[in-house]
Amino acid sequence: MDYHVRDLSLASQGLLRMEWAEREMPVLRRIRERFSREEPLKGVVVGACLHVTTETANLMVALKEGGAQVSLCASNPLSTQDDVAAALVREYGIPVFAIKGEDKDTYYSHIASVLATRPRVTLDDGADLISTLHFLAQGREGELSTSLKEVFGSWSQRGREALVKEVIGSTEETTTGVIRLKSLAAQGKLLFPVIAVNDADTKHLFDNRYGTGQSTIDGILRATNRLLAGSVFVVCGYGWCGRGVAMRARGMGARVIVTEVDPIRALEAVMDGFMVMPLVEAARLGDFFVTVTGDISVIREEHFAVMKDGAIVANSGHFNVEVDLEALEGMSTSKRRLRPFVDEYVLKDGRRIVVLGEGRLVNLVAAEGHPSAVMDMSFADQALAVEYLVREGGKLKPQVYRLPQELDMEVARIKLKSMGIEIDSLTPEQREYLSSWEMGT
Ligand code: NAI
């Protein structure tokens, strides 16, 4: 079996951590047990590019038990848990290509290794696998990395097209990936159907909000061990993730400022009780800054220029482009690593700015990503989306689809049940009332 992980001897530790996560994933467990009985993915080659965490590992095992031939690479060079990668290889015979801290060329060589398995269904977190397939189809893989060029450079156009044509469909886990794919679809260039798992209610309402909320604070605390109570905490972006981060920072006693570009989201933040102002004003006040916008150069030179000495800057949005580190480098006279994932930049006037996790997803770099209980729903959605694509993908057009609503509802229903919570159901009278227009006052 071909694989590339840091150290197979870490497998036992990874296995224990996978088991610990699995206990909090009852919805995925139920799906795994059904998959094991019914094998709905029998013989289907599945390629995944996801954060290599304990929860992802449990998803991979569920897909394998469903009959799929799975392989996995990382969706971020710094989020891989090396012990989990080792456990998947040694204990489950699942090929994994991921090493925490891998450079860009290795990252793309790992994507190439997954694509070399000729997947019929792909899973993405950030759309790197799908976009690589599209670059390949256009003969442009060299623009992404030299390692891709080395692997695919000699492939004929027909060979590349065959690779892409074999894909029945793909799933996408996160907001940024969905934005990229919708842009591809809008240009009429998307080559196969994609299910935007992120857009399922049981995904973004919980994973993005409660998952990112808790794990971003967790990442900041593990990296810095600083006290949040009484601090000024600036959250850039008040989307699903930003709401979660702001809510949890407030819960820890921080005074939270929100910055936004969307007037409705800004208004919502105001009425949720947060201070809202332009970032250039907040920059003077903040002790901590977190970007969760999915946007580029959100914190940039004009903001670094007025930050307090010792300000701590982190990103929890998908790509490492939200904090303009190039500008910060240019303004600095020196840089040193103070603790793991804590880099201090000294500016010309002597002020120090601290950047966590090299501006990459702080919750996955400095902590372990979202708690398993929330990934349970996201990955239940993923597993059901893969099953749906295998069953129905042939009938879908090359567009971005939502997960069918009945599957979304089913995940919520099982989650509630696993929590021991029951809810009411509509009476026949209520059902009729809610579906009629005749009854007024
Ligand atoms: P969203 O679309 O709900 O929210 C983004 C918000 O940022 C919007 O309200 C937008 O108006 C605002 N924004 C855009 N540019 C801005 C700027 N320059 N200044 C201030 N606000 C700005 O997206 P969501 O779901 O909250 O995701 C945000 C990012 O987090 C994405 O990159 C997503 O992929 C990522 N993500 C990260 C996770 C993690 O584990 N850390 C988990 C889930 C999503």
C-alpha 322 – ligand 1 centre gap (Å): 10
Q: Residues 46-53: what's their mean pLDDT?
A: 98
Residue 270: name the closest of 303, 246, 288, 254 by CA.
246
CB neighbours of residue 178 within 10 Å = 23
Asked whether residue 440 carries a pLDDT value surpassing 90, the answer given is no
Give me the chain's average pLDDT, please.
Answer: 97
| DSSP β-ladder status, 342-347 and 352-356 | antiparallel
Asked whether residue 441 carries a pLDDT value surpassing 80, the answer given is no
Asked whether residue 375 carries a pLDDT value surpassing 90, the answer given is yes
Helix (H) or strand (E) holding 396: none
Q: Residues 45-67: what's their mean pLDDT?
A: 98
CA distance 324 to 376: 33
**Tell me, what's the pLDDT at 388?**
98
Burial class of residue 275 (count of CB atoms within 10 Å of its CB; 0-12, 13-18, 19+): middle
- 184-240 pLDDT, tens digit each: 999 999 999 999 999 999 999 999 999 999 999 999 999 999 999 999 999 999 999
pLDDT confidence band for 349 (50 / 70 / 90): very high
Contact assessment for residue 202 and residue 408, using Cβ atoms and an 8 Å cutoff? yes
> In degrees, to the nearest 5, what angle opens at C-alpha 229 toward C-alphas 228 and 235?
50
Using a 6 Å CB cutoff, which residues line ligand 1?
A: 174-176, 204, 208, 212, 236-242, 259-262, 265, 292-295, 298, 316-318, 361, 363
C-alpha 159 – ligand 1 centre gap (Å): 37
Return the residue whose CA atom lies nearest to atom 9 of ligand 1.
Answer: 239
Q: Residues 251-269: what's their mean pLDDT?
A: 98
Asked whether residue 77 carries a pLDDT value surpassing 90, the answer given is yes
Among the atoms of ligand 1, which is closest to the Cα of residue 51? 40
Contact assessment for residue 343 and residue 355, using Cβ atoms and an 8 Å cutoff? yes
CB neighbours of residue 101 within 10 Å = 12
Domains and CATH numbers, the chain: 8-203+370-418 (3.40.50.1480), 211-365 (3.40.50.720)
Residue to mutate (ligand 1; options 293, 324, 364; most atoms within 8 A of CB): 293
Claim: this prediction has a pTM higher than 0.85: yes
Sequence-separated (6 or more) residues with CB below 8 Å from residue 439: 433
Coil, strand or helix at 93:
coil
Q: Residues 267-271: what's their mean pLDDT?
A: 98
CA distance 63 to 42: 10
Asked whether residue 439 carries a pLDDT value surpassing 90, the answer given is no
